Amino acid sequence: MLTLTNITWLDLCLAGVAVYLVKQGLNKNPAPYPPGPRGLPLIGNIQDMPRIKPWLTFTEWGKKYGPISHVEILGQHIIVLNSVKSAMDMLDKKGTVYSDRPVLPMGGELCGWKHSLGLLPYGDHFRQYRKNIHHIMGNRAALDVYHPVEEIETHRFLKRVFAKPEKLQDHVRHTAGAIILRISHGYEVKEKNDPFIDLADRAMDQFSRATAPGAFMVDIMPLLAKVPEWFPGVGFKRLAREWHQTLEEMVDAPYKFVQDQMDVGIAPKSFTSNLLEGRTLSVEEDHMVKWSAASLYSGGADTTVSAIYSIFLAMTLFPHVQKKAQAEIDAVVGTDRLPSFADRDSLPYIEALVKEVLRWNVVGPTAIPHRVTEDDIHDGYYIPKGSLVIPNIWFMLNDPQTFADPSQFNPERFLDNDGKDPEPEPRTICFGFGRRICPGLHLADASVWISTVMSLAVFDISKVVENGVEITPEVDPTSGTVSHPKPFKCSIKPRSAKAAALIQQDANY
């Protein structure tokens, strides 16, 4: 007797057979697919798709098959790009065709992230979200109004690190959340155990895990979403239910805070209050404002954390870089005050150092896949409608033909040296491509810059010595849509008594 469960698994098998038979009977493509590993009958390349650090496997594909490679899993075509040129030619120059997002059964549908800007389908809602965000941070000049907030919160970060350097990672997360919540919702975080910071941390960790390529079989076999939660092997559904609840809280709680503040006339200016001021919103407009703000808040609360934490890792591992950076700060800014954004144009080595942080620690190694909305022929290869396109950003920023000794942290690669041109600008790569480029890139860049220059002005960062043994941190980034350095130990001490006094000054400018 067939049960509902039997039918579900039977459906899966029949679907695989149907895809294979249709492919075999109707495979009259106008051009060949890009090269890639040979798949198996019925299941295609399901065994080839990596789940841990997929960018490393994609890099090997690039070496073997060239800048554009292809796999197919149960009829789903996946295109991997291993060169900047291919990414620009397809995702940027053909943006009308390559700017959609895939339907992600785990992260998008089951967990609920389909309403966020990152996973929103290409269309009118997507354009409105980006318009809302672009209005306040579309370029560096637009961010000038937020510089005091970033400087104040970064000074508070220095105080926290000075008091408890062993809690560095917590301090980085707290500060990144504090800055973005002030901008997105006008909310000033609590010094300890802030509920909105905790929500953002949990939600973004879950997002990264839920959307990582190949992490969940349901993304490869969407019919698994219909299997009951109690059935063996579908524990992902319990996870999805928990993660969906976290996301709802993260989106709703800060939004309600702004509404409540506006009701009593005490709401500070923010991204959300500006969009709500003097308007009576329809249900659809309310949804768009709430999720635009949540997209800004969630995106800014995690990506900069990875980059800023990497600053401390790099300074621990490459002390000669730290000394050069501090020498420039001392020469330009002096030691009687903290650096500010007003000093940025006068600190070329710090600027190069920030570029190198973004290149060396790739925050989004494979980005979020793009989806093709029409059949395309590119470089003689057939890219069918519905294909997922994954740019291997990690390799693009670690390609030895583009960046000399890419594993080395070397800011000087971005400076003019003895008439030699600087290496390519990493910020045109690390934030994504085309119409899906990160809309908060200028805010992220500013946050990394101010954290770098203020921290190096007052702190010496070095390896920890335990029981007479110097501990060298391991460079081992985590898997996920957003990648973080593996937690590490380092010594953080004030550079001098004068530096300690600067740290402890009042942080209210």
Distance of CA 261 to the CA centre of its chain: 31
What is the rounded average pLDDT for all residues in the chain? 90
What is the token pair recorded at 32? 């060949």
pLDDT at 20 over 60: no
Whole-number Å distance between alpha carbons of 419 and 133: 40
Residue 504's pLDDT band, with cuts at 50, 70 and 90, is very high
Asked if 132 and 126 touch (Cβ cutoff 8 Å), the reply is no
Specify the range with the lowest mean pLDDT, choosing from 32-36, 65-69, 269-273, 501-505.
Answer: 269-273
Burial class, 331, CB count within 10 angstroms (exposed 0-12 / middle 13-18 / buried 19+): exposed
Angle at alpha carbon of residue 108, lines to 104 and 111, rounded to 5°: 125
In eight-state DSSP terms, residue 177 is H
Q: What does the buried/exposed string (b/e) look like for 150-179 if buried means 16 or more CB atoms within 10 Å of the residue's CB?
A: bbbbbbbbbebbbeebeebbebbbbbbbbb
Min mean pLDDT across 26-35, 146-155, 247-256 is at: 26-35
The residue to which tokens 């002030």 are assigned? 182
What is the residue-wise DSSP string for 182-234?
A: HHHH-PPPPSSS-HHHHHHHHHHHHHHHHHSTTS-HHHHSGGGGGS-TTSTT-
The tokens describing 216, both together, are: 């969940």
- Topology (CATH level 3) of domain 31-504: Cytochrome p450 (1.10.630)
pLDDT tens across 86-140, in order? 999 999 999 999 999 998 899 999 999 999 998 999 999 999 989 888 877 777 7
Task: Assess whether pLDDT exceeds 70 at residue 459.
Answer: yes
pLDDT digits (tens, 9 = 90+) for 139-177: 777 788 889 999 999 999 999 999 999 999 999 999 999
Distant-in-sequence, close-in-space partners of 278: CB < 8 Å, separation ≥ 6: none
* pLDDT the model gives residue 216: 85
pLDDT at 5: 38
DSSP string, 21-51: HHHHHH---SSPPPP----BTTTBTTTTS-S
Q: Which candidate, 475, 499, 471, places its Cα nearest to that of 486? A: 475
Residue percentage of the chain with pLDDT more than 90: 69
With bands split at pLDDT 50, 70 and 90, how would you rate the model's confidence at 326? very high
Nearest to 352 by CA among 454, 483, 453, 460: 453
Identify the residue with better confidence: 73 or 5: 73
Burial zone of 259 (CB within 10 Å; 0-12 exposed, 13-18 middle, 19+ buried): middle
Q: What is the share, in percent, of the chain residues with pLDDT greater than 70?
A: 94
Mean pLDDT along residues 453-472: 96
- Does 28 have pLDDT greater than 50? yes
Residue 281 token pair: 């919103």
Residue 192, both tokens: 């300890």
Residue 400, classed as helix, strand or coil, is coil
For 22-36, b/e burial (b = at least 16 CB within 10 A) is: eeeeeeeeeeebbeb
59 pLDDT above the threshold of 60: yes
Q: Model confidence at 43, in pLDDT bands (50, 70, 90)? A: confident
Residue 492 has pLDDT above 90, yes or no: yes
pLDDT, residue 352, reads 98
Of 60, 108, 75, nearest to 225 by C-alpha is 108
Helix ranges restricted to H, 361-489: 393-396, 441-458
Predicted structure pTM score: 0.89
Q: In Å, what is the CA distance from 240 to each residue of 68, 216, 245, 249, 487?
A: 33, 11, 9, 14, 26
pLDDT recorded at residue 297: 81
